[in-house]
């Protein structure tokens, strides 16, 4: 770990939780804790709510990612250039679980994991994606 590598430039981040009971967690974070909503998306069991948590976000999602270690927690790191992030991550010797690709919801994503198996999704938001605009 003593060598210097090209850094991955992170623009924003969030903690992504996949709770056992999405409605119960939405009530807890939204009503009991009173977190303000940043955005909501989807419908049914795959819907989600993203809350402000100070300098970051907490996202509750019913959607499943690619086989997370425990299925409940992952990190979301937004980068300006996923290809550059991919090169830097590979150069650092980090195994890539799922290489960069455009997902059906329009984001460019790549999945890696930390040494303890915590899944990390590295995301580039394309110029024309609705996440670029906040109403």
Count of residues making up the chain: 135
Q: What is the CATH number of the domain that holds 46?
A: 3.10.180.10
Answer yes or no: is 131 within a domain. no
Interval 39-62 mean pLDDT: 85
Answer yes or no: is 75 within a domain. yes
94, 110 contact by CB (below 8 A): no
Answer yes or no: is 116 within a domain. yes
End-to-end CA distance of the chain: 43
Answer yes or no: is 104 within a domain. yes
Which residues span the domain enclosing 39? 12-126
Domain count, the chain: 1
pLDDT-above-70 percentage for the chain: 84
Q: Which two tokens stand for residue 39?
A: 């955005």
User: What's the pLDDT at 68?
Assistant: 45
Q: Residue 22 pLDDT > 70, yes or no?
A: yes
pLDDT tens-digit readout, 112-132: 887 777 788 889 989 888 877
């Amino acid at each position: 770990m003593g060598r210097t590598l090209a850094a991955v430039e992170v623009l924003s981040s969030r903690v992504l939780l996949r709770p056992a009971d999405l409605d119960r967690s939405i009530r807890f974070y939204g009503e009991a804790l009173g977190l303000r909503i940043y955005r909501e998306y989807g419908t049914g069991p795959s819907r989600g709510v993203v809350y402000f948590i100070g300098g970051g976000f907490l996202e509750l999602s019913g959607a499943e990612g690619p086989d997370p270690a425990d299925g409940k927690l992952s990190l979301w790191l937004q980068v300006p250039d996923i290809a550059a992030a991919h090169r830097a991550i590979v150069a650092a010797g980090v195994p890539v679980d799922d290489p960069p690709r455009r997902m059906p919801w329009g984001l460019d994503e790549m999945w890696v994991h930390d040494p303890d198996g915590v899944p990390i999704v590295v995301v580039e938001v394309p110029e024309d994606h609705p996440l670029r605009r906040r109403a």
